[in-house]
Amino acid sequence: MGRKPNVFVRIWNFYLEGFRNMTWGRTLWLIIIIKLCVLFLVLRVFFFQPVLSGQNDEQKAETVSGNLIEKGD
């Protein structure tokens, strides 16, 4: 009587064996990774621009406090 592996190990093995047996598994993972990279690059470039870059600590503090005061009103 063997001991049952941990539930997380069984879940991991379930998905691992599932993707091994898929004929398109590696291609699908490659497509998923490329889509995530493109998504994060687009979000980074257009939505999460570094507003505080090039400022010293005092300027950063003033910018952050100014934004907090504006949003608080």
pLDDT confidence of residue 48? 81
Structure tokens at 51: 């507003």
Using CA atoms, how far apart are residues 63 and 1, in angstroms rounded to an integer? Answer: 65
The answer to whether 19 touches 25, Cβ cutoff 8 Å, is yes
* pLDDT tens digits for range 46-57: 888 788 888 899
Q: Kindly give the parts of the chain with pLDDT less than 50.
A: none
- Residue 57 DSSP one-character state: H
Q: Is the pTM of this model over 0.85?
A: no
The answer to whether 50 touches 38, Cβ cutoff 8 Å, is no
pLDDT confidence of residue 8? 94
pLDDT confidence of residue 11? 94
- Residue 24 DSSP one-character state: S
pLDDT confidence of residue 44? 86
pLDDT confidence of residue 22? 82
